[in-house]
A and B are shown apart, each in its own frame.
Chain A
Amino acid sequence: MGKDHSHDHDHSHLDGMELKVRTLESLLVEKGYVDPGALDEIVETYETRVGPRNGAAVVAKAWSDPAYLDRLRENATAAIGELGFTGRQGEHMRIVENTPEIHNMVVCTLCSCYPWPVLGLPPVWYKSAPYRSRAVSEPEAVLAEFGVTLPEGKTIRVWDSTAEMRYLVIPERPAGTEDWSESQLAELVTRDSMIGTGLALLPDEVA
């Protein structure tokens, strides 16, 4: 495990945390509570194997394959599992579909619940007080901070993840992509579009 992180400056506070966590880890290993190999497995899983490309594959398939979309609507956990994306923080998945009338957006006001198997670990802003406090009360203003303005008359539906249900937004499929393959479509699916703080990219926004 790469312990020699590159040094930037102004992080005496970080150095304090590095020391504190290293001390804690060695104590817990010495006590036999945790296995160092298991710790490496956790880090590698969420650093390299699980991330928003998983969710993008789900969305691209949902756009391309009506039978798959039906399975997602019926039992999202199982349908997402078909692509090999299962596990912790994705035990009870549900999709919420954007339409010309409805824009969905996901938050966890009480902590930071997030669908790990399809999106990876949540970004800092998702866990932050500004997002958690205002996503439910003034979603238009929050969307504006992400540079998103919705067409007049579209209703915003905010999902507060208070239980173990985990929500994946299926953004609207951009026009002009009718003959695109699943892998091409996946390139249009940003992480934020699957949280609802963004939209799918347009064809001319990808190289």
Chain B
Amino acid sequence: MNGPHDMGGMQCYGPVEPEADEPVFHGEWEKRALAITVAMGGTGMWNLDQSRFARESLPPVQYLSSTYYQIWLAGLESLMKARGMVSEAELECGKLDTPPVETRRPAADRAAMKAVLATGGPVSREASGEPAFKVGDAIVTRNTHPAGHTRLPRYVRGKPGVIAAVQGFHVFPDSNASGKGEDPHWLYSVAFKAEDLFGAGNHEVLVDCWEPYLERADA
């Protein structure tokens, strides 16, 4: 979806302004927002790509005027409401008015959470077939504008590039976010020239692209 989250190349946001003291958290609520978001992800009621899509799907004005943890919370509320896990009234006043739904995984306790954090959730899968491209191959990214979730940024669509690395066989977010399964594909780092992307610049930009995003340059 061409949403406000897809920021690469935008020119309207002003300079980067690092904070002077850079606290890890700004207020107690940010700690709890992080913790709630991570812990709720552990219930298995949605996957990483669905949580990203929920955040991207917030109204653009809300997305752009929220802090990152506010975006996380709004995405979380939307995921929970869509699954009947909480009601609007419950979120308003904090009083339970509907019974909990059964989650795919039970709530992790402290020890289980420690293990989960230390392990993470790898998205590499056993490969099926050979990669279509090898390092050095010239490609063109597809000029595609799906209404759903995608990880091919707008600034890099329909652009020529060169395969810089084959990264593995990874879960495909476009499918995983739509609930159609992991549908893993080969993942590549693709090198683009700044001039091809933005009309100027001497630098290179490397973008991780799944095979369905790419076509052979001479095709």
Q: Which residues of A contact B73 (CB under 8 A)?
A: 20-21, 24
**Known: A42-B113, A110-B5, A111-B52. Contact between A131 and B16, CB under 8 A?**
yes
Q: Which partner residue on chain A sits nearest B4 by CB separation?
A: A129
Contact of B96 among A30, A40, A42, A162 (CB under 8 A): A30
Q: Which partner residue on chain A sits nearest B164 by CB separation?
A: A157
B113, A31: Cβ atoms closer than 8 Å = no
A92, B123: Cβ atoms closer than 8 Å = yes
Contact of B107 among A32, A125, A159 (CB under 8 A): A32
B204, A155: Cβ atoms closer than 8 Å = yes
Interface range on chain A (Cβ under 8 Å from partner): 35 or more
User: B207 on the interface (CB 8 Å rule)?
Assistant: yes
- With A91-B124, A109-B6, A123-B19 given, name 6 new contacts (CB 8 A): A33-B43, A91-B120, A121-B24, A125-B19, A130-B15, A165-B187
A43 and B69 alpha carbons, distance in the complex (Å): 14
User: B130 on the interface (CB 8 Å rule)?
Assistant: no
Chain B residues with a Cβ under 8 A of chain A: 5-19, 22, 24-29, 31-36, 38-40, 42-43, 52, 55-56, 64, 67-68, 70, 73, 77, 85-86, 90-91, 93-94, 96, 100, 103, 107-110, 112-114, 116-124, 151-153, 155-156, 167-168, 170-171, 173, 187, 189, 191, 194, 197-198, 201-210
Q: Which residues of B contact A139 (CB under 8 A)?
A: 203
Contact of A47 among B5, B22, B31, B204 (CB under 8 A): B31
A158 and B203 alpha carbons, distance in the complex (Å): 8
Contact of B31 among A34, A43, A123, A130 (CB under 8 A): A43
**Known: A37-B110, A162-B209. Contact between A136 and B19, CB under 8 A?**
no
**Known: A22-B32, A47-B31, A137-B197. Contact between A159 and B206, CB under 8 A?**
yes
Stretch at the interface among A53-61, A81-89, A168-176, A199-207: A81-89
A177-189 vs B, CB cutoff 8 Å, 1 = contact: the mask equals: 0000000000000
Contact of A136 among B123, B173, B205 (CB under 8 A): B205
Q: Which residues of A contact B110 (CB under 8 A)?
A: 35, 37-38, 40-41
Q: Which residues of B contact A91 (CB under 8 A)?
A: 120-124
A112 and B29 alpha carbons, distance in the complex (Å): 19
B40, A156: Cβ atoms closer than 8 Å = no
Q: Which residues of A contact B206 (CB under 8 A)?
A: 157-160
B5, A39: Cβ atoms closer than 8 Å = no
A31, B96: Cβ atoms closer than 8 Å = yes
